[in-house]
Amino acid sequence: MKNGLMRQQYLDLYYFMRLNRAVEDMMVKLFRQNKIVGGLYSSLGQEAVSVGTAYALEKKDWLAPMIRNIGALLVKGVPPRDIFMQHMAKYDSPTKGKDGTSHFGDLENLHIVSPISMLGDLIPVMTGVAMAGRYLGQKIVAMTWIGDGGSSTGVFHEGLNFAAVQKAPFVLVLENNQWAYSTPVKRQVPLENLADRGKAYGISSYTVDGNDVLAVYTAAKEAVDRARNGEGPILIEVKTFRRLGHAQHDPAEYVPKEMRAYWEARDPILLYETFLTGEKLLDEKSKKEMEEKIEKLLSAERDFAENSPMPPAEFAEQGVYCTGDDCHKIRPKWERPIAEVTPPRSSVAAVWTVEGFGSGKGSGGGSAPFHFGDTQKSEEKTEPATGEKPKDTEVSEAVAETIDSAVAKPGKVAGKVSAKPAAKITAKIPAKTPANARAKSHPAPKKSAKPAVASSKTQARKAGR
């Protein structure tokens, strides 16, 4: 697959990966200075995943990041100061200091849905976003991410099945980073490739090297284009490695040293630098200029974040619940005539037709609610010629001859049916004796006179029937 990138786009991928790592390095320093009040989750070693996949989206497309997808936020246009202030719970942050991690979005301009802590829940949410965009005629694609551990949740499977059934323009990036917290993948999934999970839902899937940003971008671009063209959802498994623990409190001592050394030697930024240098797209001068640019940017963004005030105490009771237009004024953005999706043009006749089933003529000549696949379709049937017997189904020649003889000679057939079988049935049933005769031959004792009368009436009723 050719990626079709221009020189500046190659450099963009490099810039965003470097910016991603620099932002997280800056936040580690802020965390150790007790300036970050919430949790801090690193994506060290996974920068190519967030950047490569998000870069394949168009501006109008939607994404929903997880806590390690800071690179995707940067690609979408979120300034580093917003990320800093969000983790520092500052008043100028996107959530006005009401959250200390990355739970924020931008529905109006950047089309970012806030992360959901319950892993897997973003899959049905973004499926709904994709379906809404299709309904409004926006021609968008929705994307979200999930880890190898999150792919074992029930909502992962329910959401992916829902997306598949609806053929939603949705791309799911499955980050196989080898560890679900401290549980290795082999202890939770009996599969070599997690992309195989897409087969259960009849959707296409890719498996790519998550430390090769060009491979990630190329697969993501193809998946996004296919989803936009109506081919339904696509699953991309990226094989990568999280080089730090689950969060700052986790030293990740459970990771074998050999495994860590292997993946550190495959650092995605260093791999890409080697490629750019070999293709003469990057030299030492341009590399140094980019480093200085990032350092200058983050210094200013950090200063802005640190100088932002903490939220006032009285603000705690505000913004807890959405109250309507004074909260936000987001409205559907129609890009197709509303008449196409409203009655009468959207009305569909309540007819359910399946080949082999449906309406048809029964053997009695009337309508039959169901018929089998060997029955002629109603639109293919023709009027029978004069004297011909109409046929509903194809039958064997021997059976047809039996039926024809039965129709031609009904008397003989009736005799055959009613003679011997009737005699046999009669022989098996004992002849009935009138109730009064049985009473005379077997008089009941006086003490049981009443029961005898009742029994006689019962037998009489039976005889009457």
Q: Which residues contact 20 (CB under 8 A, 6 or more apart)?
A: 43, 47, 50, 51, 70, 71, 74
Contact in structure between 463 and 432 (CB atoms under 8 Å): yes
pLDDT band at 84 (very low <50, low <70, confident <90, very high): very high
Give CA separation, 125 vs 164, 197, 455, in Å: 14, 19, 73
- As a whole number of angstroms, the distance between CA 330 and CA 113 comes to 13
**Least confident interval from 53-67, 139-153, 347-361:** 347-361
Between residues 457 and 226, the one the model is more confident about: 226
State phi, psi for 210 to the nearest 5 degrees: -70, -10
* Residue for token pair 């509303």: 338
Give the mean model confidence (pLDDT) for residues 38-56.
92
- As a whole number of angstroms, the distance between CA 46 and CA 29 comes to 20
Token couple for 416: 């055959």
Contact in structure between 173 and 203 (CB atoms under 8 Å): no
Q: Which residues contact 181 (CB under 8 A, 6 or more apart)?
A: 149, 246, 250
Give the mean model confidence (pLDDT) for residues 412-430.
42
Domain boundaries, the chain: 7-317, 338-404+451-465
- As a whole number of angstroms, the distance between CA 161 and CA 202 comes to 9
Q: What's residue 411's pLDDT?
A: 46
- As a whole number of angstroms, the distance between CA 362 and CA 368 comes to 5
What is the end-to-end Cα distance of the chain in Å, rounded? Answer: 85
Q: What's residue 117's pLDDT?
A: 87
pLDDT band at 187 (very low <50, low <70, confident <90, very high): confident
pLDDT of 437 higher than 80? no
**Least confident interval from 89-98, 187-196, 273-282, 345-354:** 345-354
Q: What's residue 405's pLDDT?
A: 53
Contact in structure between 216 and 207 (CB atoms under 8 Å): no
The topology under which CATH files domain 7-317 is Rossmann fold (3.40.50)
Query: Residue type at 173?
Result: V
Contact in structure between 93 and 319 (CB atoms under 8 Å): no
**Least confident interval from 4-8, 17-21, 117-121, 253-257:** 253-257
Q: What's residue 22's pLDDT?
A: 97
- As a whole number of angstroms, the distance between CA 402 and CA 14 comes to 82
pLDDT > 70: what percent of the chain?
74
**Least confident interval from 121-125, 176-180, 328-332:** 328-332
pLDDT of 183 higher than 70? yes
Q: What's residue 416's pLDDT?
A: 42
- Chain centroid, CA 342 distance in Å: 27
- As a whole number of angstroms, the distance between CA 140 and CA 292 comes to 36
Q: What's residue 352's pLDDT?
A: 58
**Least confident interval from 109-123, 160-174, 410-424, 436-450:** 410-424
pLDDT of 425 higher than 50? no
The length of the chain, given as a count of residues: 465
pLDDT of 227 higher than 80? yes
Q: For every residue of the chain, which 3-state class applies, written as one string?
A: CCCCCCHHHHHHHHHHHHHHHHHHHHHHHHHHCCCCCCCCCCCCCCHHHHHHHHCCCCCCCEEECCCCCHHHHHHHCCCHHHHHHHHHCCCCCCCCCCCCCCCCCECCCCCECCCCCCCCCHHHHHHHHHHHHHHHCCCCCEEEEEECCHHHCHHHHHHHHHHHHHCCCEEEEEEECCEECCEEHHHCCCCCCHHHHHHHHCCEEEEEECCCHHHHHHHHHHHHHHHHCCCCCEEEEEECCCCCCCCCCCCCCCCCHHHHHHHHCCCHHHHHHHHHHHCCCCCHHHHHHHHHHHHHHHHHHHHHHHHCCCCCHHHHHCCCCCCCCCCCCCCCCCCCCHHHHCCCCCCCCCCCCECCECCEECCCCCEECCCCCCECCHHHCCCCCCCCCCCCECCCHHHHHHHHHHHHCHHHHHHHHHCHHHHHHHHHCCCCCCHHHHHHHCCCCHHHHHHHHHHHHHHHHHHHC
Q: What's residue 404's pLDDT?
A: 53
pLDDT of 415 higher than 60? no
pLDDT of 248 higher than 50? yes
pLDDT digits (tens, 9 = 90+) for 313-372: 988 888 788 888 887 777 889 999 998 888 888 877 665 555 655 555 555 555 555 545
pLDDT of 24 higher than 60? yes
Omega into 344 within 30° of 0, i.e. cis? Answer: yes
Q: What's residue 453's pLDDT?
A: 43
pLDDT of 240 higher than 60? yes
Give CA separation, 90 vs 86, 87, 382, in Å: 6, 8, 79
pLDDT band at 450 (very low <50, low <70, confident <90, very high): very low
Q: What's residue 426's pLDDT?
A: 41
